């Protein structure tokens, strides 16, 4: 049986530390620019409407979702879901977040290949992600290497999906900033703030992928140790 406490836990600790730092940076950056309001005094949902309309997108609805920083674009139902703290806010942070979600809507409208592909594989990845840890833990108790390796393969699928997500998120932010600039929604100084918010958010995705990679390396080391 594999031991639960071993030197490879350093990978877990480092991964958790990186994730914590990225999350703290995001929270700090968002909080800072949540207190700085746009000179046009335009709300995040109004910005979203303007970006969508100027891109000829009229089949995407805009609504609210509970929570903070729970903003997302739901491609299956063509809906831009802005968190309660974002929807009516005129802050640079809220506008940056809303425009980023518009970036995903623009990707969907243009049939951006990585986004389209992710939509198809998301159900598979969801199952793989939920099953990987239970399978790995069960294999540890039962001492079944084949089962352990299946768990590693499922975990690897999760990592690949997170890596696929990175260009999607960076591209959505790029589209967001271009829209804010081209449509004169924010001025040059405000754009800098919006970029900082979106860059900090992107780093949380990078940190998550790196943490998953470290965890995967740990599982591989455990698997090799077991064979020895």
Residues involved in catalysis: 101
Helices of type H across 91-144: 92-109, 113-142
Q: How many beta carbons lie within 10 A of that of residue 146, not counting itself?
A: 8
* CA distances, 7 to each of 4, 120, 218 (Å): 10, 38, 9
* CA distances, 223 to each of 120, 136, 152 (Å): 31, 10, 9
The answer to whether residues 206 and 166 touch, using CB atoms and an 8 Å cutoff, is yes
* CA distances, 129 to each of 38, 60, 160, 185, 220 (Å): 40, 29, 11, 39, 17
Q: What DSSP character marks residue 60?
A: -
The residue to which tokens 């700085």 are assigned: 36
For residue 1 the two structure tokens come to 């049986």
Q: Which residues sit opposite 72 in a β-bridge?
A: 81
Cα–Cα distance, 211 to 142 (Å, whole number): 27
């Amino acid at each position: 049986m594999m031991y639960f406490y071993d030197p490879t836990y350093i990978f877990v600790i480092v991964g958790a530390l990186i994730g914590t730092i990225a999350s703290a940076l995001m929270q700090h950056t968002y909080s800072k620019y949540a207190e700085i309001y746009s000179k046009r005094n335009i709300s995040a949902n109004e910005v979203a409407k303007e970006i969508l309309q100027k891109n000829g997108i009229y089949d995407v609805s805009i609504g609210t979702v509970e929570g903070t920083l729970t903003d997302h674009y739901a491609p299956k139902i063509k809906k831009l879901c802005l968190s309660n703290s974002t929807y009516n806010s005129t802050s640079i942070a809220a506008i940056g977040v809303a425009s980023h979600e518009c970036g995903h809507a623009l990707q969907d409208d243009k049939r951006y290949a990585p986004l389209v592909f992710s939509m198809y594989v998301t159900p598979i990845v969801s199952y793989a992600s939920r099953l990987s840890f239970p399978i790995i833990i069960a294999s540890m108790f039962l001492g079944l290497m084949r089962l352990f390796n299946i768990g590693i393969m499922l975990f690897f699928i999760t990592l690949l999906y997170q890596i696929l997500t990175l260009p999607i998120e960076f591209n959505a932010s790029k589209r967001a900033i271009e829209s804010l600039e081209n449509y004169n929604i924010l001025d040059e100084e405000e754009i800098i703030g919006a970029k900082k918010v979106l860059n900090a958010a992107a780093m949380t995705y990078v940190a998550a992928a790196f943490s998953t990679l470290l965890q995967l390396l740990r599982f591989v080391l455990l698997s090799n140790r077991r064979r020895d």
